[in-house]
Structure 1
Amino acid sequence: MTWLQGFLRSVAHDRRWWWALLVINFLGSLYGFYWYWPQLSQTPPARWFIVPDSPGATFLFAIWLGLLLAGVDWRSPGMQLLGAVAFVSNMKYGLWTATVLPQAGMKYGWEFDFVHLSLSHLGMWVQGFLFARHYRPGPAAAAVALAWMVVQDTVDYRLWMTHPTLPYQAEFAFARGAAVALSLIWGLFLLGQSLSSRRHVHG
């Protein structure tokens, strides 16, 4: 096992890292909800649940970590479902931001927000991917997470247009395409991983 593999394993299994990530994700979620406030203030309250994509993802991950720290078995159906949605959301929205903002930066010029938001959101992808590998949700939970990602994209980019505020509206098609592609990539990744693990167990 390499040093990096050992370090990542410790992050996934050491309660001290869980506490650190819980605090980081909780505070990051609060900042994210604050950042989304201008958009939320112009959205009917009944639709607020679908608007803050990234802070919603980190908040779900923080809840999952809190339950894990409280001793809840990660293999329980509820934890698997919560974990599946949290993991896929972090992987999807982490890479979505780290794709859409740099693309806009290369076309229109870089801004400070493009840099720090892209880097911080890459951290979302890392934690989502890491914990998805060590705490693998079952097929049912993974399928629900994939379906939820598709629902979010449909609502965000077609039905209610509640997608994140874009740096340039001309990038709408690219942002929508990236969201749909990442939903399918990481949703199917989680589902494929769960099916592979199940075959290995029963093989």
Structure 2
Amino acid sequence: MSISFFWSRAFLTNRFMLWLLFWCNLVGTIYGYKWYGDQIEYTIAHNLIWQVIFVPDSPTASLFFTISVLFLLYPPKTPALTGFSYLMESLAVVTSVKYGIWAVSIIFAGAAQGDHLVWQDWMLVASHLIMAVEALLFVRFFRFGAFMLIPAAAWTFFNDIVDYTFGVYPWLPDELQDHLLGVEYFTIGLTAFSVLLAWLFLRLAKRKTI
């Protein structure tokens, strides 16, 4: 058996694998929202209530992917649900790539500035790398087109604006507090990169080269 079988359509889209992905991502999403619990409570107490939706970035990205996998298991039957599934897929790819790379980068940037990494950090590195990889692997199985990258990009850029305008960005290691402006620029640039990468993988998928 060739190693390429493990990223083939036959392997990745069989119902057992899709259900496994669905439950793993759902559990990860729930855990992620619990992880952000303290910051969510702080935001509710000190910020406008509508801003709280922009606090748990990675769990929301994972939620988009979880919903997208569910639509692979149960394809939508109506135009409204089909449009909604396209939106979820585009958001899943852009945000999973963006926050997957972002979290890993911030963890290692903090370590480079003197932060001591613990086992939870390595768990976060592994889980967020998986987020990015699975999103790019599944681009070819999703049905959204390049047009749907526009609302996905708009949402993600707006998330960045809210995060750094109102201070609801994910809490950073203490060692990075003096580099907040650099983190902001990196975050916005990473959004653009993630949208571009999603578009590129869509083009490659149409040519059946991935």
Using the size of structure 1 for normalisation, the TM-score is 0.86
* Gaps in structure 1 of 5+ consecutive residues: none
Equivalent of residue 193 in structure 2, options 185, 189, 196: 185
**Contact 2:140–2:205 under 8 Å retained in 1:** no
* SS of alignment partner, residue 42 of structure 1: helix
Cα RMSD after superposing both structures: 2.4
Deviations 1:18-40 (A, max 9, x none): 11111111111111111111111
Corresponding residue of 2:29: 29
| Count of equivalent residues | 197
Within a 5 Å distance, the mapping from 1:161-180 to structure 2 comes to: 161-168=167-174, 169-180=177-188
Higher deviation after alignment, 4-13 or 20-29: 4-13
Within a 5 Å distance, the mapping from 1:9-158 to structure 2 comes to: 9=8, 10-44=10-44, 45-72=49-76, 76-112=82-118, 113-135=120-142, 137-157=144-164
**Contact 1:104–1:171 under 8 Å retained in 2:** no
Deviations 1:127-185 (A, max 9, x none): 1111123325212211211122111111111x222110101222423322321121101
Letter in 1 for 2:6: F
Deviation at 1:3, TM superposition (A): 3.0
Using the size of structure 2 for normalisation, the TM-score is 0.84
* SS of alignment partner, residue 108 of structure 1: coil
Instruction: Rate the CA distance shift 1:180–1:11 in 2: closer, same or farther, 3 A.
Output: farther
Determine what percentage of the aligned residue pairs are the same residue.
Answer: 27
- CA distance in 1 between partners of 2:202 and 2:131 (Å): 21
- CA distance in 2 between partners of 1:197 and 1:32 (Å): 30
